[in-house]
Chain A
């Protein structure tokens, strides 16, 4: 039996232009008491870690397409290998864009339909949290959470067959909603297809979401719903099946 580390260790990947890594690091060390390491994109090794974070920002200036250049950064080979071995990976905002460009999640994120940058608190409806046990294990199907969004290119698109498949397999795990949980067009901050705010890969360990859970981890900043995502990981790491233990 392998000893489970008491303090989760998270690798936070930093590309040129990433801007949310300090917020994640703050939450990891100051709020959660986790160990963390900022990993520069030119590194080839994530080091010993239990989870990987791809934070928000504008990796490589978002040139060509969001995430298009970051996908080829040397560290991405290690991130892909970590994910393929079942390791939990979360990509928020620009991190979600990178995950789609890297082919680790389906679809793409495009310019908001109203062409404006949107920075605001956003209600989200949680769906099928069991599809992403490492990240949403502490959340309930159908419940509403509130997280900040902050993006200009968050419109999730995929072809209808892919969207149908994501929904049928329970891989749409977060949708933009209003305060009542309804998926009204006015509650969709970017024009995403089917109000999709977050999806998970088929194996359930790679989560991509446009909102910023790291900006909702302390009551002082307006909410703590984001913290529940990290608490889910903590709990999952304590109880993870042997097959999912870190192998790097």
Chain B
């Protein structure tokens, strides 16, 4: 069956995020004075096929470990769900 995973790649704690800092100061300069420590990351959406949810979870973990995140400076978490619309994601105009 088809699955859709949204992988969130975040910088590890302690890894400085100059882009996040720049965004934070831009927000504060726009008047959002309460904005704290902004952190950036990536969202990677991957449609794929797997037999069952356990297999799908294992495949996602492997994708993250092999390619999607670099453990030196990143962590990955994800939301996995059955892709009931089967390919509709790809058809959505950007």
- Identify the A interface with B (CB < 8 A): 64-65, 68, 72, 100-101, 106-108, 110-115, 157-159, 191
- Given A64-B67, A68-B67, A115-B22; A191-B72 close (CB under 8 Å): no
Q: Inside 8 A of A101's CB, which chain B residues have their CB?
A: 70
Taking the closest CB of chain A, its distance from the CB of B9, in whole angstroms, is 9
Q: Inside 8 A of A191's CB, which chain B residues have their CB?
A: 16, 18
Q: Inside 8 A of B59's CB, which chain A residues have their CB?
A: none
Please determine whether A107 and B72 come into contact, CB atoms closer than 8 angstroms. Answer: yes
**Chain A interface mostly:** loop
Please determine whether B19 and A157 come into contact, CB atoms closer than 8 angstroms. Answer: no
**Considering residues B22, B68, B73, which has the most beta carbons from chain A within 10 angstroms of its beta carbon?**
B73
Taking the closest CB of chain A, its distance from the CB of B54, in whole angstroms, is 26
Please determine whether A111 and B70 come into contact, CB atoms closer than 8 angstroms. Answer: no
Q: Inside 8 A of A157's CB, which chain B residues have their CB?
A: 15, 72-73
Please determine whether A65 and B19 come into contact, CB atoms closer than 8 angstroms. Answer: no
Please determine whether A113 and B68 come into contact, CB atoms closer than 8 angstroms. Answer: no
Taking the closest CB of chain A, its distance from the CB of B41, in whole angstroms, is 12
- Given A115-B18, A115-B19, A157-B15; A108-B68 close (CB under 8 Å): no
In the complex, per-residue mask of B12-41: 1 if CB is within 8 Å of any chain A CB, else 0: 000110110010000000000000000000
Given contacts A108-B70, A115-B18, A157-B73, 10 further A-B contacts (CB under 8 A): A65-B70, A68-B70, A100-B72, A108-B73, A110-B15, A112-B18, A115-B22, A157-B15, A158-B72, A191-B18
